[in-house]
Structure 1
Amino acid sequence: MNICVFLSAADLDDRYTRPAREFAQLIGKGGHTLVWGGSDVGLMKVVADGVHETGGRLVGVTVDFLATEVRAGTDEMVITRDLAERKALLLERADAFVIMVGGMGTLDEATEILELKKHGLHDKPVVLLNTAGFYDGFEAQLRRMQEEGFLPLPLTELVSFVEEPEDALAYLEDGVLPRQFLAPAARRCRP
């Protein structure tokens, strides 16, 4: 499976790097391919290292103005003209999406992929790995949009929120969320 990961290129502390590394190792051990922004810095490097070290393939898709930060030795590296072309190619190359911690670029990619899914322009699974509660506010906003009629379909059809790396990959591979995310009484605002 080609798993596109949206995440930060910033250097972050262990509460974010440890789960990112764990998820990357699961991708590699599972024989999957990482499709990502192609950078060899920050959390992007951590994930690429983890996938590479465990035997997974690396497909980078970067943009011309970030070409100085690309990772050497990938299985494939594509350099696009602009961010719009980059996002289109990431969508095309991916079988599934995982949104990890990140800044404005990650949020832009996440909202675009959700908007396209909302309009039926793709039906690929989208998982938000909510490490250390990083996206609690984003999840609350999406739930409010659903409750107040701004989403034409249930939030659970757009994105699945998980807190652990193994739950993200299990959902992508098997389409099943862990029990705690299914029973309303046993969950904290998770589908």
Structure 2
Amino acid sequence: MVKNTNGIRTICVYCGSRMGSNPAYREAARVLGKAMAEHDIALVYGGGTRGIMGAVADAVLAHGGKVIGIIPEFLMDKEATRQELGQLTELVVTRDMHERKHMMFERADAFVALPGGIGTLEEIVEIMTWAQLGRHAKPMVFGNVDGFWNPLNTLISHMSDEGFVHTAHLVQPLVIDTASAILPAIIEAAGNTVANGDKEVISRL
């Protein structure tokens, strides 16, 4: 098992509850999940056992890693089966989406957005908003598989150019095109954060 993770013990992965139309999305989830398990980094995610969510969780578990699923009660039978949820290392059932998102934030040392839908977009944008407001300095990554996030990154650049991202230095997500490069980028970013005196924001499990 590989070490030297610069304090990264957990990564929250946001992604779709469906597979999408491109097989590269599932493969990216598999590659990331395997790498996390090999580095003894636990997965924090939305608890679903289907789609890209299920693929990344399966990969972590298949390679001996830990998976922490955080899911609202009302989604348990929509995005998973109760039998499948029982296979996770840890399952947390929340009252609502707000509690789920807050808990995912608290349990994560870094954030990755793989391809997904409106829910995935909403989750990573909220994390970026909290960074802009100074609530955290944890690494944020867009897993830009086959250019999936290019339209959003173009929009964000446009917002910044038009003067609406007034604290752009606090909102600096990494855009990583290759799944195998996501984890090394997070570890390097965490090392830079610690070197700059922000060790406390590489938070706790």
TM-score class, shorter = 0.7 to 0.9
Distance across 1 between alignment mates of 2:120 and 2:103? 15
Partner of 2:90: 76
What residue in structure 1 maps to residue 193 of structure 2? none
Q: Which residue of the partner structure matches residue 202 of structure 2? A: none
Rounded Cα–Cα distance in structure 1 between residues aligned with 2:17 and 2:92: 17
Listed one character per residue, the Cα deviations across residues 22-53 of structure 1 (whole Å, up to 9, x for unaligned) are 11111111111000001111111110011111
Q: Secondary structure at the match of 1:73?
A: coil
Higher relative contact order, structure no. (Cα contacts within 8 Å, ≥ 6 residues apart):
2
What is the RMSD of the two structures over their aligned residues, measured on CA atoms? Answer: 1.5
**Could you tell me which of 74, 84, 101 is aligned with 2:115?**
101
For residues 156-190 of structure 1, the C-alpha deviation after alignment (integer angstroms, 9 at most, x for no partner) is: 843111101122101111228xxxxxxxxxxxxxx
2:138 aligns to what SS in structure 1? coil
1:141 is matched by which residue type in structure 2?
L
1:160 alignment partner in structure 2: 174
Counterpart Cα distance in 1 of 2:178 and 2:24: 12
Q: Give the whole-Å Cα distance in 2 for the aligned partners of 1:97 and 1:153.
A: 19
The answer on 1:25 being equivalent to 2:34 is yes
Identity level (%): 32
Per-residue Cα deviation, 1:48-95 (whole angstroms, up to 9, x for no partner)? 011111121000000111112152211111111111111100000000
Query: TM-score w.r.t. structure 1 length?
Result: 0.88
User: Hey, what's the Cα distance between the residues in 2 that align with 1:104 and 1:65?
Assistant: 18
Q: Aligned residue for 1:2?
A: 10
Q: Is the 1:28–1:55 Cα contact (8 Å) retained in structure 2?
A: yes
Runs of at least 5 residues in structure 2 that lack an aligned partner in the other structure: 1-8, 191-205
Match of 1:133 in 2: 147
Alignment of 1:1-191 (within 5 A): 1-12=9-20, 13-68=22-77, 69=80, 71-154=85-168, 157-175=171-189
Structure 2 residue identity aligned to 1:168: I
Number of matched pairs: 176
CA distance in 1, matches of 2:76, 2:59: 21
Tell me, in whole angstroms, the C-alpha distance in 2 between the residues paired with 1:121 and 1:35.
19
Contact 1:118–1:158, Cα closer than 8 Å, also in 2: no
Runs of 4+ in 1 over 4 A off after TM superposition: none
Which stretch has the larger CA shift, 119-128 or 9-18?
9-18
* Structure 1: gaps spanning 5 or more residues: 177-191
